[in-house]
Amino acid sequence: MRTSVEGPPLEPHTLTVANHTSWLDILILGGSTGTAFVSKAEVRSTPLIGWLADQNDTVYISRSERGDARRQIEQIGHALGRGQPLTIFPEGTTGHGRSLLPFRSTLLAAVSPPPEGATVRGIAIDYAEAVDQISWHDGERGMENVMRVLGRRGRLSVTVRLLDPLPPTGDRKALARKAATAIESALSSVNGAGRL
């Protein structure tokens, strides 16, 4: 796999908002930017994956406890306060990679407005023509996807575009829209209007 990174490096206290196409996104972003992640709580109990996530200072959230959003937002704020760049995937799941799924804005309340010293940036993860080969297919089980992705032929090239900081706002929904627009623009500007 060949990863190229475009844009200025992540600074401490940065929350990044990224599109989510594959489990590879986590390996690629963690390795190329040093970011930690916000993940669903179930990941923690997954053999090997949970251990790896713990090593990377992952912030775990429970999707089943709707009333727990305030605590989850506080967890994200504390992680940013420690200086660790942190990434969320506001689509909430992986998609087919040809377009963005709707962005969920709840966790963006941690940075709406951003705490002092914190910034919010978009990240566009671009698999170009390989997107159909690595993205999740409808009804595909986890191990089926892993085996299919690992069994593909040829070199995988991915571009990570670290976008400019987003203007601060006190409105998490507006911030989600701005992030989605910036990511869509970064992906479509390189791949043509048909990409997204």
What does 9-31 look like in DSSP terms, one character per residue?
PPPTTEEEEE----THHHHHHHH
Task: State the pLDDT at residue 85.
Answer: 93
Residue whose C-alpha is closest to residue 103's, from 120, 81, 117:
120
Q: Which sign, positive or negative, has the C-alpha torsion 40, 46, 49, 55?
A: positive
Whose tokens are 């406890």? That residue is: 65
Evaluate if residue 184 carries a pLDDT over 90. yes
Mean pLDDT confidence for 158-178: 91
Helix (H, G, I), strand (E, B) or coil at 162: strand
Of 159 and 196, the structure prediction assigns the larger pLDDT to 159
Express each pLDDT in 101-154 by its tens digit.
Answer: 888 888 888 888 777 888 999 999 999 888 888 887 777 887 888 888 888 888
Residues 15, 165: Cα–Cα separation, whole Å: 10
Question: β-strands 59-61, 2-6: how paired?
Answer: unpaired
187 neighbors 196 (Cβ within 8 angstroms): yes
Range of weakest confidence among 6-20, 30-44, 143-157:
143-157
Which helix or strand (DSSP H or E) is residue 148 part of? Answer: helix 142-151
pTM of the model: 0.86
What pLDDT shows up at residue 129? 83
pLDDT of residue 57: 84
Read off the pLDDT of residues 35-83 as tens digits, 9 standing for 90 and up. 999 988 888 888 887 888 888 888 888 767 666 777 888 888 888 888 8
pLDDT at position 181: 95
pLDDT at 193 over 60: no
Position 194 pLDDT exceeds 50: no
